[in-house]
A and B are shown apart, each in its own frame.
Chain A
C-alpha cells in the first residue's frame, strides 16, 4: 500500500460567499461541521443554492470567510477538516466513483491532491492542528481501518497560536 503525495496546483476559482453574511445556517441542510483547533473557525457542508459546497465561518467575527482557490469544480465535496488556525482544509472530493483527498491552503489560495496514485477507498479525513498529519479511513485491506498520511517535515506547519 502506498500513498503518494504530490502537489497538483489547481487553477484558482472564486467561490462566492453566501448572500446572507450573518447566519451560520440557511433554509437548507448544513452538515459535517469541523472546528479549527483554536475554535474560531467552522468549516461545514451546506446544501444552500441547490448544491453541496464547503463553507467556512468565523465564529469570532460572525461572518463567512472567503475561500479563493478552493477547487470544487465537477466534484461533490465532503468531510472537511481544519488545522489549528484554519489555514489548511482537508476534504474529500467525489467525482463519480472516484474519491480524492485534497488539501486547501487558505494562505496561498491553492488546492493540492494528496492521494495521487492511491487506489484504495478513502473516508473521513482528519487533519492535525499543524496540518502535517491526516488520519483517514481506508478500505485497502478489505475492511475499514485507519491510516495516517504524513505530509513530511518540510511543509509549512500551521502555527499553534493566534
Chain B
C-alpha cells in the first residue's frame, strides 16, 4: 500500500504545491507563517487522507462559517451554543446582546432572520429547534421562575407555552421538519422522561411509561 502511494507521489508534478493547498483546507490552521516541513510519514498520511476523502465524498470538510464582531451573523465575539440545523436554517443560542437569546440564521442568504417577539426580557431561552421551512421554532425558556416549552410561529409571530399546565420542569425540546411533532424532557415522574406532543400542545398517543 505504501509503495503504491510513493509511486503516486512521484507521478504527481508539483506535488508540494498541490498537497499544501489541498491539505490546508482540511487541517488545523497554522498559527505561524512558517512553511510546512512535512516528514515523509506526514506526507504519506496526508496523501492517504486525501485519497480516502476523495473516495468517500466530493469536498468534505468544514464550511467557512461567517463571523461578525457586531453580532449580525452566525458567530460573534460572544458564545454561540446549541445549534440545530434544518433546511437552510440554523437556530442557536447566543449571548451577543449580553442576554441569553435565541437567533435564527439562514445560511443560504447568509443573514440572521428576524424573529420578533420570540425573546423576552424576563426569560432565559435555551435549546431551540426549527422546522425545515424556518416557520416554526420550539425552545425551552425559564420565565418568572418556571420552565416551559415554547412554540413560535414566525408567520403569525405568535408565541405559545405548550407546557403551561404541566406541573414539571421541562427542557431539551426537539421538532420534526414539518413542525408538527415536538418531543422534550419532563421531570413529572421525579426523573427525566420523554414526552411527545403535537403542535397544538396535545400529547401524542404513544405508550410513555412501563406497565
B contact residues around A25 at 8 Å (CB): 189, 193-194, 208-210
Find out whether the CB atom of B176 lies under 8 angstroms from the CB atom of A36. yes
**A6 to B52 alpha-carbon distance, docked (Å):** 7
Find out whether the CB atom of A152 lies under 8 angstroms from the CB atom of B56. yes
Q: Indicate the size class of the contact surface on chain B.
A: 35 or more
CB < 8 Å neighbour of B191 from A20, A28, A152: A28
Find out whether the CB atom of A62 lies under 8 angstroms from the CB atom of B79. no
A contact residues around B191 at 8 Å (CB): 28-29
Find out whether the CB atom of A35 lies under 8 angstroms from the CB atom of B181. yes
Interface residues of A (CB under 8 A from B): 1-7, 20, 22-39, 42, 44, 59, 62, 84, 117-119, 123-124, 126-129, 133-137, 143-155
Residues B81-134 near A (CB distance < 8 A): 81-87, 90, 92, 107, 132
Count of A-B residue pairs with CB < 8 Å: 186
Interface residues of B (CB under 8 A from A): 24-29, 49, 52-53, 56-63, 65, 67, 74-75, 78-87, 90, 92, 107, 132, 172, 174-178, 180-185, 189, 191-194, 196, 204, 206-211
Contact A24/B208 with A35-B176, A39-B177, A124-B83 known, Cβ cut-off 8 Å: yes
Find out whether the CB atom of B65 lies under 8 angstroms from the CB atom of A2. no
Contact A2/B27 with A129-B86, A150-B60 known, Cβ cut-off 8 Å: yes
Find out whether the CB atom of B65 lies under 8 angstroms from the CB atom of A147. yes
Find out whether the CB atom of B62 lies under 8 angstroms from the CB atom of A33. no
CB < 8 Å neighbour of B172 from A2, A7, A32, A128: A32
For the complex with contacts A4-B26, A23-B210, A37-B132, 19 further pairs of A-B residues with Cβ separation under 8 Å are: A4-B27, A4-B49, A7-B56, A33-B185, A33-B194, A34-B174, A35-B175, A36-B176, A44-B194, A84-B177, A117-B49, A118-B28, A124-B82, A126-B84, A128-B85, A137-B81, A143-B78, A146-B80, A148-B85
Contact A2/B28 with A23-B209, A128-B86, A146-B83 known, Cβ cut-off 8 Å: yes
Q: How far is the CB of A131 from chain B (nearest CB, A)?
A: 11
